[in-house]
């Protein structure tokens, strides 16, 4: 006979989660409830002397099928709201009536059946299943193999989208970028070496001016960018004799050529 406690455990483990199929709102919650139903059914199979099927149930249904459901759920957008408008008037009540009638009919008819179960004999362990599967049903097995391959190819064909435009190579993309007026070289990294090496400070160009676009746009949008002017100011206040000739205000292009600075130093040395 069959373990009674196991039956009630399985019944409690399967029916309430299955009801979430009707009442839960989010598809991800429903998928996880159905996983629970599948695990409960696997326990039922083990209790019904079919341990091989129990393991297959866990591997195939909870492991593969329901995970694929979740994948597709994520692909099509998990937070998509279900449209609850009724297009056929009273469809909800008609459907509930039909399904309830079906349940009533099946339960009342099946409940009246009195079959005395055979005493416990064969157990569906892998060896026994294999004897039947590869003996009597070997042709069905072959056909199922063909079916699986066909299904895989069919899924590939259906989800494959042909490329509408020719593939653009990396060098073509780069040429287009330069043609559009982009800088052909990399942007400078943010941060001032040896002073403030954080990402929020703009880099300084050779004349000591901050380069605004060296800081990430995200920090700019969040208003977390530091100006960089204080670093520049400290650079100019240093008592470096080489900077002697530099004007104290904003550095100018005119004053800052290397030749002029060298000449100024030479004059200083002569004095």
Tell me if 11 contacts another protein by CB under 8 A.
yes
Site for another protein in 138-157 (CB under 8 A): 140, 144, 147-148, 150-152, 154-155
* Interaction pattern, residues 154-183, with another protein; x per rule: CB under 8 A: xx--xx-x----------------------
Region near another protein per CB under 8 A, out of 134-142, 171-179, 189-197, 207-215: 134-142
Site for another protein in 205-224 (CB under 8 A): none
Least distance in angstroms from the C-beta of 166 to another protein:
21
Nearer to another protein, 140 or 250 (CB): 140
Least distance in angstroms from the C-beta of 193 to another protein:
50
Cα-flanking dihedrals φ and ψ of residue 181, to 5°?
Answer: 95, 15
Burial of 76 (0-12, 13-18, 19+ CB in 10 A): exposed
Least distance in angstroms from the C-beta of 219 to another protein:
35
Site for another protein in 15-34 (CB under 8 A): 15, 18-19, 21-22, 27, 30-31, 34
Cα-flanking dihedrals φ and ψ of residue 61, to 5°?
Answer: -80, -60
* Interaction pattern, residues 41-60, with another protein; x per rule: CB under 8 A: x--xx--xxx-xx--xx--x
Residues near another protein (CB under 8 A), total:
86
Least distance in angstroms from the C-beta of 32 to another protein:
11
- What span, in angstroms and rounded, lies between the C-alpha atoms of 22 and 228? 60
Least distance in angstroms from the C-beta of 146 to another protein:
10
Tell me if 68 contacts another protein by CB under 8 A.
yes
Tell me if 62 contacts another protein by CB under 8 A.
no
Nearer to another protein, 150 or 240 (CB): 150
Q: Are 244 and 268 in contact (CB under 8 A)?
A: yes
Tell me if 74 contacts another protein by CB under 8 A.
no
């Amino acid at each position: 006979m069959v373990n009674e406690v196991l039956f009630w455990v399985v019944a409690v483990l399967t029916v309430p989660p299955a009801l979430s199929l009707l009442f839960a709102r989010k598809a991800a919650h429903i998928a996880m409830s159905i996983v629970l139903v599948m695990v409960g059914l696997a326990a039922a199979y083990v209790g019904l002397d079919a341990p091989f099927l129990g393991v297959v149930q866990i591997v195939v249904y909870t492991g593969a099928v329901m995970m694929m459901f979740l994948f597709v759920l994520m692909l099509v957008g998990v937070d998509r709201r279900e449209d609850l408008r009724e297009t056929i008037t009273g469809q909800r009540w008609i459907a509930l009536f039909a399904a309830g009638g079906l349940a009533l009919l099946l339960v009342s008819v099946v409940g009246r059946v009195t079959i005395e179960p055979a005493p416990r004999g064969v157990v569906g362990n892998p060896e026994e299943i294999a004897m039947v599967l590869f003996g009597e049903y070997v042709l069905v097995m072959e056909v199922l193999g063909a079916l699986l391959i066909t299904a895989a190819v069919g899924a590939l064909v259906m989800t494959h989208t042909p490329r509408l435009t020719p593939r653009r190579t990396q060098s073509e993309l780069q040429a287009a970028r330069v043609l559009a007026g982009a800088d052909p070289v990399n942007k400078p990294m943010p941060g001032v070496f040896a002073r403030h090496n954080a990402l929020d400070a703009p880099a300084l160009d050779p004349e000591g001016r901050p380069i605004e676009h060296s800081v990430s746009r995200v920090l700019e949008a969040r208003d977390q960018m530091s100006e960089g002017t204080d670093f520049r100011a400290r650079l100019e206040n240093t008592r470096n004799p080489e900077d002697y000739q530099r004007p104290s205000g904003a550095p100018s292009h005119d004053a800052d050529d290397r030749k002029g600075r060298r000449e100024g130093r030479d004059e200083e040395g002569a004095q």
